[in-house]
Amino acid sequence: MTAAGTTGWRNDAYAKVTGRVKFTDDLKFARLLHAAPVYSDLVHARIIRVATADAERAPGVLRVLTARDVPGSNRVGQIHSDYRIFADDKIRHNGDVVAMVIAETRDLAIGAAALVAVESEPLAAVLDPEEALLPGAALVHESHGSNVVNTHRIRRGNVAEGFRQADFVLEEKFRTQCVEHAYMEPEVAVCVPRSDGVMEVYGSMQHPFSTRRFVSACLGVPLSGVEVVGTPMGGGFGGKDDTAAIVCARTALAAKILGRPVKTMYRRDWSIRESYKRHPYRVTYRMGVKRDGRITAVECRILADGGAYCSVTPWVTWRSTVQCCGPYVVENVHCDTLGVYTNNAVAGAMRGFGSPQMNFVVEQMVEIAARRVGISGVEFRRRNMVRQGSVTITGQKLDTHKVAMGEVLDAVLRETGYEAKLAKCSLGRSAGDELYGIGLAMSYRGVSLGAEGVDVCAAVINVQPDGSILLEVGVHENGQGAESAMALIAAQELGVSLGRIRYRRASTSGVPDSGTTVASRGTIMGGGAVTLAARELKQKIAEAVCGQLQCPARSVRFADDAVLGRAGRRRMAFGDAIRLMFQTQRLPYACGVFKAPRVSWDEHTGQGDAYFTWVYGCQAVELTVKRKTGKVRLLSAVAAHDVGRAVNREMVRGQFFGGMAMATGYALHEEVRSRDGRITNLNLNSYRIPRAMDLPEMTAIIVENPDPQSPSGAKAVGEPTNEILAPAIANAVFHATGKREFALPIRLSAAPDEAPEEECRL
Amino acid sequence: MKLHVNGRDIEVADAVGERRLIEFLREDLDLTGAKNACDIGACGACTILVDDEPLKICIKRVKDVAGHRVLTVEGMAAPDGTLHPLQRAFVERGAVQCGFCTPGMILVAHAFLLKNPRPTRDQIRRAINGNLCRCTGYQQIVDAIEEAAAHYRGAQAPAHQAEPAHA
């Protein structure tokens, strides 16, 4: 009986349903101080002076910190160190923090924050990404020389020739909006100066190692002088990286200067104002197609508003570039991508990481093209989609894993009865008040970091003398169930019961720096490391017990909490084997290191093996549109994703549903609105995320094709589920109203009373 | 001023009545299940039950619940730590991810099932519509509540309303 794949087990579920789990704000420390950030009303301005004296004299205030108090580096970042711990030379967006007040209570800190004044010289604000590129535009970072954060390109084949071969050339412009992660738990940090000189950091952040890097840079101490303790986190979705790490860094600075534990608990409005968002995109897309439905060429220009700091804009836009043609084989591609600085909210990582924007474009373009050619969207996709052995637009041959594009598409068509329902779509015509539509979208997605970065992960298995097991992996529990997945993989590989395994409280001091838990890399990279550690451990155990089992070490097997000799003739309880190891001076300890297989990238041509493996997904949605009001009601949603291997089935389903729900918000409700660079919807009453009644019943179809390059067989699920429902909804809206929606969120006014002139050929 | 929290009577000075209820529960009683997430009653993470009715307490004072029966998520399980059937359903149906909305969800569902032990899925969705969750898409939360409903039929399934023995 294997543990994996069968249960919804979570190591933290009991604590979470009883209220016993301690999130960062729930932790208590003696003599705890409280901090509050200070913002200015400005959007773009040169700072002359930050006046803190009045705040410092306020009751209960111990100190007001500004950039001058930072002993190490005030500038941090994952790619370019342009993110400020405290605004120093300029205010670059309305969420910049100029100071932090530390007081005996949070209320006193918040009250005094209003007394900090910023003397400044206002500058023209750049709020439009196109205008940011114009000559003479104000520069967000003068020393950078321009507002271009980065560029990427793809040059494949001969685009001019491709368009010459085309029978139709279609060109459209698309826009996507700025959205907020809206994790339920706002940013929070508690930092405790320890007697051994180490700064202990608890925080709601999803990247303990990058947090440690930011804290150590800010304090000017070595990495070993900071210990970031894994703390249950109330959601991240990619959003608790730079900003959350900087909240930790400021809090650590306060704790260091005052020699007392300090907590910074964010209010929702601070969180929305300061934290980075998903990039708004503007995309111009040209597609050439032949009468037989083959795509002959794609030319596209992608413009991403990166906001005031670099964050991970170059990486986000790289994924957009690599996946700019969706899961389709295109011989001739010309893509230019630009990330730009503006004085808008910072944009960074968010679930999907550059793919939700592009899929909104591509999955509508293929339907527009199909209609032009006169075949169904499904048939058009089939004629162009990647198959086993296909070569991607970056020249990568897909032959190291099962290419499951057709499999997931078929699964969704079957489950929904798609073709029959498509024939019933209103296309703007309906006898009643409601228009009906069904739509789908599909994608492939490169797993993990790809050529974005160094990809390696470690896991430590430390078996105790009584046979109980401590496990720690360099991936972070973001709420998704990473620890449980790691424990399930370990239990299965070691042939032991789950009850034997305890995931130890994670700490940056306990396991090698394994990078960040992003890019849906947790299960594939962490699971790979756990599998390798378990194999190393089994080798050590086998060598220790093979004499007693009277067989060579290579014949020893592990199952049912026991160690078995050849053909199971002799057996030893797992606990007895461990006892024997300790008695014979062999320690049952293993560290597994999984290195991602080689990837490659040529910046000049945009060609290379971008990712070492890919996942495939398809989603469909049914909806109605109220003719009078334009209100969209979702009736059902179905998703099929190849996840490699489902380690924890209920949790995998949870990733499906959560990703799809978030995508409905992206499609229909969510938008960070701003006026003159100041965000106006700063709380959850005005920033509307999906509620239970907004969502339809959803169906998850888990497709499993274990990946030979993943030691555990598992691939990814977190982001793929979030990247295609918006275009599926857009396609369904078209099938309902007969009108295309080129901008997100989709806001329909009253639907047209008359049917569109052209009869739709489905 | 008398408070009745999770089956216990607590006497507090009248001055305490003016304090924010969520702060009092979290700081003074260490009942940290109720969460701060919006401060304006928009998200439901701070929900508790007062006389079996859900109340978003981030905007309430201690005096608002004086003399009434308060139930927090810490009062749901049995004193020996055995989970309430509703909590068990949340665990078994995969309704828990990050867990930040979970206490509020469980309490709102509990109040709802006490009144309506034979709900449709639409009624369940309506009942939890004021509680936001960003992880789950609500699907497995609805599954869990639907499954737990059976335990509320016939014999009532009151929460244990006492502090777990080993809390």
∠ at Cα A261 (A259, A266), nearest 5°?
Answer: 130
Secondary structure (3-state) at A663: helix
Which amino acid, one-letter code, is at A559? A
Each residue's pLDDT tens digit, A263-280: 999 999 999 999 999 999
**CB nearest to B33's CB, from A19, A182, A662:** A19
Each residue's pLDDT tens digit, A72-110: 999 999 999 999 999 999 999 999 999 999 999 999 999
Q: Which of A367, A283, A413 is nearest to A730 (CA)?
A: A367
User: How much is the pLDDT for A506?
Assistant: 85
User: How much is the pLDDT for A448?
Assistant: 85
From A462's Cα to the closest Cα of chain B, the distance in A is 27
CA A515/CA A241 separation, integer angstroms: 12
Q: Which two tokens stand for residue B46?
A: 């701070």
From B51's Cα to the closest Cα of chain A, the distance in A is 20
| Cβ-contact A329, A367 below 8 angstroms | no
Per the document, the length of chain B is 167
From A16's Cα to the closest Cα of chain B, the distance in A is 5
CA A496/CA A370 separation, integer angstroms: 53
Each residue's pLDDT tens digit, A281-322: 999 999 999 999 999 999 999 999 999 999 999 999 999 999
Q: At what angle do helices A527-549 and A482-494 cross, to 10 degrees?
A: 30
∠ at Cα A334 (A332, A336), nearest 5°?
Answer: 160
Secondary structure (3-state) at A255: helix
From A657's Cα to the closest Cα of chain B, the distance in A is 5
Each residue's pLDDT tens digit, A647-687: 999 999 999 999 999 999 999 999 999 999 999 999 999 99
Does the pLDDT of residue A761 top 70, yes or no? no
The pLDDT-based confidence of A756 (bands split at 50, 70, 90) is very low
Which amino acid, one-letter code, is at A502? R
Does the pLDDT of residue A68 top 70, yes or no? yes
Secondary structure (3-state) at A734: helix
Which amino acid, one-letter code, is at A606? G
**Could you tell me where the DSSP H helices lie in A277-354?**
313-322
Q: Per the CB < 8 Å rule, is B126 touching A693?
A: yes
Torsion of CA A578, A582, A583, A585, to 10 degrees: 130
Q: Per the CB < 8 Å rule, is A184 touching B134?
A: yes
Does the pLDDT of residue B163 top 80, yes or no? no
Which amino acid, one-letter code, is at A297? A
Q: pLDDT above 90 covers what percent of chain B?
A: 92
Neighbours of A292 (CB within 10 A): 9
Residue of A nearest to B77 (CA): A18
CA A612/CA A50 separation, integer angstroms: 49
User: How much is the pLDDT for A750?
Assistant: 66
Q: Per the CB < 8 Å rule, is A8 touching B32?
A: no
Q: Per the CB < 8 Å rule, is B40 touching A19?
A: no
Each residue's pLDDT tens digit, A335-361: 999 999 999 999 999 999 999 999 999
Lowest mean pLDDT among A125-134, A148-157, B115-124, B154-163: B154-163
Does the pLDDT of residue B166 top 50, yes or no? no
The pLDDT-based confidence of A436 (bands split at 50, 70, 90) is very high
Residue for token pair 């995931």: A503
The stretch A181-207 carries a mean pLDDT of: 97
Partners of A462 in the β-ladder: A470, A589
The stretch A128-139 carries a mean pLDDT of: 97
**Could you tell me where the DSSP H helices lie in A323-397?**
355-373, 377-384
pTM: 0.95
Q: Per the CB < 8 Å rule, is B134 touching A658?
A: yes
Query: Which element (helix H / strand E) includes A333?
Result: strand A333-340
Each residue's pLDDT tens digit, A565-616: 988 889 999 999 999 999 999 999 999 999 988 899 999 999 999 999 999 9
Q: Per the CB < 8 Å rule, is A692 touching B167?
A: no
CA A84/CA A73 separation, integer angstroms: 9
User: How much is the pLDDT for A749?
Assistant: 82
Each residue's pLDDT tens digit, A203-241: 999 999 999 999 999 999 999 999 999 899 999 999 999
Torsion of CA A528, A533, A538, A541, to 10 degrees: 180
Please give the C-alpha separations between residue A603 and each of A152, A336, A685, in angstroms, as whole numbers. 7, 12, 44
Mutant choice from A9, A12, A14, A16 vs B, greatest count of B C-beta within 10 A: A16
Each residue's pLDDT tens digit, A5-14: 456 788 999 9
CA A82/CA A341 separation, integer angstroms: 11
Q: Which of A189, A192, A187 is nearest to A30 (CA)?
A: A192
Q: Per the CB < 8 Å rule, is A695 touching B83?
A: no
∠ at Cα B135 (B131, B136), nearest 5°?
Answer: 80
**Mean per-residue pLDDT over chain A, rounded:** 94
From B71's Cα to the closest Cα of chain A, the distance in A is 12
CA B60/CA B46 separation, integer angstroms: 10
Indicate the burial class of A287 (C-beta count within 10 angstroms; 0-12, 13-18, 19 or more): buried
Q: Edge-to-edge strand order for the sheet containing A434-446?
A: A434-446, A614-626, A632-642, A697-703
Torsion of CA A504, A505, A510, A513, to 10 degrees: 110
Q: Per the CB < 8 Å rule, is B136 touching A13?
A: no
User: How much is the pLDDT for A347?
Assistant: 98
Q: Per the CB < 8 Å rule, is A697 touching B121?
A: yes
From A183's Cα to the closest Cα of chain B, the distance in A is 6
The stretch B135-151 carries a mean pLDDT of: 97
| Cβ-contact A86, A270 below 8 angstroms | no
Which amino acid, one-letter code, is at A745? P
From B81's Cα to the closest Cα of chain A, the distance in A is 9
Indicate the burial class of A30 (C-beta count within 10 angstroms; 0-12, 13-18, 19 or more): exposed
Chain B residues whose beta carbon lies within 8 Å of the beta carbon of residue A26: 26, 32
User: How much is the pLDDT for B156?
Assistant: 57
Per the document, the length of chain A is 762
Indicate the burial class of A135 (C-beta count within 10 angstroms; 0-12, 13-18, 19 or more): exposed
User: How much is the pLDDT for B158?
Assistant: 63
Chain A residues whose beta carbon lies within 8 Å of the beta carbon of residue B33: 18-19
User: How much is the pLDDT for A762?
Assistant: 37
Q: Which two tokens stand for residue A300?
A: 């596209």
Partners of A173 in the β-ladder: A284
**Which fold is adopted by the domain B85-152?**
DNA polymerase; domain 1 (1.10.150)
**Would you give the DSSP letter of residue A324?**
T
Q: Which two tokens stand for residue A454?
A: 């160094």
CA B66/CA B51 separation, integer angstroms: 11
ipTM above 0.85, yes or no: yes
Does the pLDDT of residue A380 top 80, yes or no? yes
User: How much is the pLDDT for A9?
Assistant: 86
Chain A residues whose beta carbon lies within 8 Å of the beta carbon of residue B42: 683-685
CATH class of the domain whose range is B2-75: alpha beta
Q: Per the CB < 8 Å rule, is B99 touching A16?
A: yes
Q: Edge-to-edge strand order for the sheet containing A90-91?
A: A90-91, A45-51, A117-122
Q: Per the CB < 8 Å rule, is B97 touching A662?
A: no
Phi and psi at A48, nearest 5°, equal -95, -45
The residue extents of the domains of chain B are 2-75, 85-152
The pLDDT-based confidence of B145 (bands split at 50, 70, 90) is very high
**Buried residues in B116-142 as b, exposed as e (16+ CB within 10 A):** ebebeeeebbebbebbbbbbbbbbbbb
Q: How many CA atoms lie within 13 A of A120 on its CB side?
A: 22
Q: Per the CB < 8 Å rule, is A684 touching B43?
A: yes
| Cβ-contact A469, A490 below 8 angstroms | yes
Residue of B nearest to A664 (CA): B137
User: How much is the pLDDT for A478?
Assistant: 84
Q: Which residues contact A345 (CB under 8 A, 6 or more apart)?
A: A93, A94, A95, A178, A273, A276, A277, A307, A308, A672, A674, A679
All structural domains of chain A: 25-123+200-264 (3.90.1170.50), 281-450+603-737 (3.30.365.10), 456-595 (3.30.365.10)
Residue of B nearest to A660 (CA): B137
∠ at Cα A282 (A281, A284), nearest 5°?
Answer: 135
